[in-house]
């Protein structure tokens, strides 16, 4: 991959729900180039209609929606799960996300947001290391041993917050706990102020995805956790049944 192409992709990856608008100074600093070079990359991406640069502000263009729509058209797991996600989100009214393993990372492939004004910043396309957070670990806990070992060898154990698990001993113990109880909870492990609660979606003994809740810590109520876990497990089982009935879609 050429350096210019890699930097162009890195610029696109800088945008998030917390950071929807950037300026040239910020982009230059984040990708480690001069302002002039950053402007050149942004100009190229604008010419290709991936970015919009106006009044000193850089933002993602609507062209990205083309690729999101294309992904959802061919990501059959989303088409199988989304009605069940809509149903459980209507009961819980917290942000519900669906994640899957791609290469060595966990990717959010579908999200339905809470209607409440304060909500977690979970984005479709968000990439997470397999060591951090409930969504990632509930998938890792149910991977075949040979597959997990390959991924384990590439874990960087980055400390995202003060609560992030960064040792294999802690991580292995947590995976065993997940297999015993069938869910995981992470409190400010990936993002400060955010709690994740997730369960695996299993097919033939392997986690094909995880489904869970992302909520701000200010709304965290330990007394509701058992209820949320039950609803998530029921939803995951419904998705598993639909996968079993449409297994050709995932082949």
Predicted confidence (pLDDT) per residue in 37-93, tens digit: 999 999 999 998 899 999 999 998 888 777 766 666 666 888 899 999 999 999 999
At 164-191, the pLDDT tens digits run 998 889 999 999 999 999 999 999 998 8
Beta-ladder partners of 249: none
Give the full edge-to-edge strand order of the sheet including 206-216. 127-129, 105-112, 95-102, 206-216, 194-203, 184-187
End-to-end CA distance of the chain: 30
* pLDDT (0 to 100) of residue 16: 77
At 123-177, the pLDDT tens digits run 777 788 888 899 999 999 999 888 888 888 888 888 989 999 988 899 999 999 9
* pLDDT (0 to 100) of residue 226: 93
Residues 135 and 127: beta-carbon distance below 8 Å = no
* pLDDT (0 to 100) of residue 114: 86
Residue 177 neighbours by CB under 8 Å, 6+ apart? 184
CA–CA distance, 95 with 216 (Å, rounded to integer):
10
* Helices marked H in the chain: 3-13, 24-31, 35-47, 64-74, 76-92, 134-140, 145-152, 168-181, 225-245
Say yes or no to pLDDT of 248 above 70: no
Domains and CATH numbers, the chain: 3-61 (1.10.10.10), 67-250 (3.30.450.40)
Say yes or no to pLDDT of 35 above 80: yes
């Amino acid at each position: 991959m050429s350096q210019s192409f890699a930097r162009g992709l890195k610029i696109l990856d800088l945008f998030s729900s917390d950071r929807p608008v950037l300026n040239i100074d910020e982009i230059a600093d984040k990708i480690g180039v001069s302002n002039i070079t950053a402007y050149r990359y942004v100009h190229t991406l604008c010419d290709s209609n991936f970015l919009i640069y106006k009044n000193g502000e850089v933002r993602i263009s609507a062209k990205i929606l083309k690729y999101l729509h294309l992904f959802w058209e061919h990501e059959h797991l989303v088409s199988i799960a989304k009605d069940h996600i809509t149903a459980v989100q209507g009961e819980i009214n917290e942000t519900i996300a669906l994640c899957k393993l791609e290469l060595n990372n966990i990717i959010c492939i579908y999200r339905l947001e809470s209607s409440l004004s304060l909500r977690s910043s979970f984005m479709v396309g968000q990439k997470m290391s397999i060591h951090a957070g409930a969504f990632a670990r509930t998938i890792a806990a149910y991977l075949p041993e040979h597959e997990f070992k390959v991924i384990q060898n590439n874990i960087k154990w980055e400390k995202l917050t003060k609560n992030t698990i960064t040792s294999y001993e802690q991580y292995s113990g947590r995976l065993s706990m997940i297999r015993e109880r069938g869910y995981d909870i992470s409190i400010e492990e990936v993002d400060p102020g955010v709690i994740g609660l997730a369960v695996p979606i299993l097919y033939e003994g392997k986690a094909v995805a995880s489904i869970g809740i992302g909520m701000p810590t200010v709304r965290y109520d330990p007394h509701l956790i058992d209820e949320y876990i039950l609803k998530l497990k029921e939803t995951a089982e419904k998705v598993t049944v639909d996968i079993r009935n449409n297994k050709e879609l995932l082949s």
